[in-house]
Chain A
């Protein structure tokens, strides 16, 4: 049961160009979305997040877009740099009624390779 899907296992982009990573979700209760970057043998590093009340959030070279009607979000990295080469995970959570700390539901990740 894949509630968060990242359909591209890998993506190769030339340095300086835009990288676009995509993520789809099926659970309409999700209302907070995050992108994490992961290098081998390290933990996920938080990059950027977006709440369902917004459709765009920007932080430096990173922008996340959310299309709630399509249950789709994307991460744009521009310009792409060699240090961006890593696995990128999309994650989602939904605040249950009554509060509490929701666990994140992760996608399988997309391996981004930045070509010099």
Chain B
């Protein structure tokens, strides 16, 4: 069964460093998403991406964050200058398509645990 994959599984970085989290969405999916879950809190939406541009973003997704689809398979989340409070699990998700005004199911990857020291 196709699945979303993410690398690395765990990333440790120093505060102020840049990190890039990588995701390979399900191959025939067209919408891609990033979420995060801070320890003990709920899963929070960051950004959605379609047709090589951001479709929607939350207030969490500020100028520190960026997303890119550098090639036909990868989808990346970059945090430019990490802060302690960026420590969280980051989940990538993808969905097949969203027809006009129709919802779609999002499938999640296993996550990357980001630890900022």
A contact residues vs B (CB 8 Å cutoff): 31-32, 34, 36, 41-46, 49, 51, 89, 91, 93, 95-96, 99-109
Query: For residue B103, which residues in chain A have a CB less than 8 angstroms away from its CB?
Result: 31-32, 49, 51, 93, 95, 102
Say yes or no: A103-B56 contact (C-beta < 8 A), given A42-B110, A43-B4, A44-B43: yes
Partner of A42, one of B43, B45, B55, B111: B111
B72 to chain A, nearest CB (A): 19
| Cβ-based interface call for B105 (8 A) | yes
CB within 8 A of B48: which of A32, A36, A103? A103
Contact pattern, B 27-51, Cβ under 8 Å of A = 1, otherwise 0: 0000101010000011111111110
CB-CB contacts below 8 Å: B1-57 with A: 4, 6, 31, 33, 35, 41-50, 55-56
Selected from B4, B35, B55, B110, the residue in CB contact (under 8 A) with A101 is B55
